[in-house]
Amino acid sequence: MSIKLSKDFTIVVAGQAGQGIESVASVLAHILKKQGYHTYVAKDVMSRVRGGMNSIMVRVSNERNDAYREKIDLFVPLDPRAYAHYDKRFTAKTIFMGVDDPANATRSHARVAKKRDVIAINFLQIAHDVGNRLFANTIAAGAILGLLGTDPDVGTHYLRSFFRRKGEDIVEKNIIAFEKGFTIGAHAAFQEGIEVTLTPKNDVEDYIFLSGAEAIGFGALAGGCNFISSYPMSPATGILTFLAQNGKECGVLVEQATDEIGAINMTLGASFAGARGIVTTSGGGFDLMTESISLSAITETPIVVHIAQRPGPATGLPTRTAQEDLALARHGGHGEFARAIFTPGTPDQMFDLMAHALEIADKYQVPVFILTDQLMMDSLYCVPQASLSQREVTHYIDETDETYRRYLLTDDGISPRGIPGFGRGLVHADSDEHTEDGRITEDMEYLRKEMVEKRLFKRKEHLTSCALAPDISGNKKGSTLIICWGSNKGVVEEAVDLTKNADLKVAHFTQAYPLHPSVAEMLGDAHKVIVVENNATGQFADILEVETGEVVHERLGKWNGEPFSVEELVSSLK
């Protein structure tokens, strides 16, 4: 065969949990980035500690493409059963390199092998020859990089740095393993006529790799977060881990609570005392927190809640992705009050919007939500360092005097926020309806009405007026409007570009509630409105129709736990 790979290509490494596919992908991604290629890594993981079939996609390209692709250009199975599991993603041009054991071959594997010879490499046997089966992953990474015609010196230099802490013997054996794999891969490329024509970009080498969890964590630090209390729940746990690892150095108090109710109440207590606090969870954990969201609202205590979405109901698919908790964030908590919901779609936006969410919560004394999902949290992105700059943090806390009233009725609806011990005034909070100085009241003729209107005024006058406008791409004058939010940004924009349809306009929403004032007119001007989201009912489409009075003509949903791929969206939009 003779194959040319150009513009961008997708590598998928597959095997059972515990076989080390993450190690292979991580080494690949870092070495390819150092050689000037844009790299994006996404995981497809079953909810098992061991066993099951997992894979990691490494997408390499000339330009930044942070979107999930269905087709596989190079498939590297560490277990022969992987052939059957990923059969639907193979094309006539897929290259197969890895284990090829006829005794374990499935019917699907046999069919694939008839289409194209498998470049058979027994990674484990080579690793045994080097000295330990643990070197199999380094051999696999070397074989892939050799097949792609990369510079081996860049790989060995990276491995020296990566394994330095483990001692010189481990470093040298990994380099021997890498070089053996690289030689095999390069020879296979020559034999099979495989040629890669990607052009490296000089600026990419200085980019940094960030997972979605790390991007959110850095955004929290940039926004002045100094307290987090959470109960571990995938896929949100990465933020708690990140801040625990960096908290002492950055001045963040980290507390792993015994449950979700304790977590949010601890964070509210810290906020009442003047901290900038966040809590991170997933949909099932947030269910338990909703009563305390109402507590945040009536006591006007700022809090930021990060919800990393996964499919429900109940435990659902805990290691898969979804956009099913938007309605929960919109309506969670009893009573009527103001809130804001942010929905980033890139690591840059995750960083910016987490910092922004902390600012909005503090400034307007409201609960604020930031929604991501499993795909975003667990993916690895190549990001310019310049996009992660420190923000100036403004504190909205007043020193109190003897006349201080925590819930003073003001013209702008924002009461002065005092904290205990800062000034001579008494800071009194109450979860019951209250007077201006925080005492329980049942004055239904005046105070109850005024306090409800004060809390809702924040939405009408502040949160709406400062709402973020959607990002517009495609043909800005197109009559067909494709709307998406959160992680679907990259895949929708790329799919629209590939359709070559000049009538398509894309609007990506980084704020799902309240909507920017321009949204109603934008929908009204469109001949057709299509909303793309990873749920079955069209939760954002519901918000758009209720809030604007306009009609969504088509709801394009996906709810099986997998992300949209570029190919399926191209097919749907065509």
Q: How many percent of the chain have pLDDT more than 70?
A: 95
CATH code of residue 537: 3.40.50.920
Phi, psi of 533 (to 5 degrees): -160, 155
Q: What is the pLDDT of residue 198?
A: 75
Q: Which of 206, 227, 249 is the last residue of a domain?
A: 206
Tell me, yes or no, whether 28 and 96 share the same domain. yes
Tell me, yes or no, whether 72 and 201 share the same domain. yes
Measured CA angle at 554 (ends 550, 558), to 5 deg: 125
CATH code of residue 310: 3.40.50.970
Q: Is residue 93 part of a domain?
A: yes
What's the CA gap between 379 and 22, in Å, rounded? 11
Structure tokens at 372: 């991501």
Q: How many helices (H) and strands (E) does the chain have?
A: 19, 22
Tell me, yes or no, whether 409 and 510 share the same domain. no
Helices (H), 235-282: 237-250, 260-272
The total domain count for the chain is: 4
Q: What is the pLDDT of residue 166?
A: 86
Closest CA to 507 of 473, 540, 549: 473
Residues 6+ apart with CB under 8 A from 455: 297, 298, 300, 336, 337, 338, 413
The residues that bridge with 5 in the sheet, in sequence order, are 196
Residues 6+ apart with CB under 8 A from 293: 264, 303, 305, 332, 333, 339, 367
Q: Is the dihedral of CA 61, 117, 14, 122 positive or negative?
A: negative
Tell me, yes or no, whether 184 and 214 share the same domain. no
Q: What is the DSSP string of 344-408?
A: --SHHHHHHHHHHHHHHHHHHT-EEEEEEEHHHHH-EEEE-GGGSPPPPP----PPB-TT--TT-
Tell me, yes or no, whether 80 and 136 share the same domain. yes
- Domain holding 235, by residue range, is 209-387
Structure tokens at 552: 């969504």
Q: Which helix (H) or strand (E) holds 507?
A: strand 504-509
Residues 434, 440 contacting (CB under 8 angstroms): yes
Taking 70 as the pLDDT cut, the residues of the chain under it are 1-6, 49-51, 100-117
What would the pLDDT profile of 360-415 be if each residue is shown by its tens digit? 999 999 999 999 999 999 999 999 888 888 888 999 999 999 999 999 999 999 99
Tell me, yes or no, whether 158 and 280 share the same domain. no
Residues 6+ apart with CB under 8 A from 165: none
What would the pLDDT profile of 53-84 be if each residue is shown by its tens digit? 899 999 998 888 899 999 999 999 988 888 88
Tell me, yes or no, whether 169 and 213 share the same domain. no
Q: Is residue 418 part of a domain?
A: yes
Q: Is residue 82 part of a domain?
A: yes
Helix then strand then coil, in percent of the chain rounded to 5, is 45, 20, 35
Residues 95, 115 contacting (CB under 8 angstroms): no
Tell me, yes or no, whether 152 and 25 share the same domain. yes
Q: Is residue 393 part of a domain?
A: no
The residues that bridge with 279 in the sheet, in sequence order, are 305
Tell me, yes or no, whether 29 and 173 share the same domain. yes
Residues 322, 312 contacting (CB under 8 angstroms): yes
Structure tokens at 468: 């973020």
Q: Is residue 303 part of a domain?
A: yes
Q: 550: which DSSP letter? A: -
Tell me, yes or no, whether 324 and 404 share the same domain. no
Q: Which of 436, 466, 496 is the last residue of a domain?
A: 466
Q: What is the pLDDT of residue 106?
A: 46
Q: Is residue 62 part of a domain?
A: yes
Q: How many CB atoms lie within 10 A of CB 25?
A: 27
- CA 124 from chain center: how many Å? 34
Q: Are strands 340-342 and 380-383 parallel, antiparallel or unpaired?
A: unpaired
Q: Which of 191, 206, 221 is the last residue of a domain?
A: 206
Tell me, yes or no, whether 134 and 161 share the same domain. yes
What's the CA gap between 516 and 483, in Å, rounded? 14
Q: What is the pLDDT of residue 256?
A: 96
Tell me, yes or no, whether 419 and 341 share the same domain. no
Q: Is residue 185 part of a domain?
A: yes
Q: Is residue 392 part of a domain?
A: no
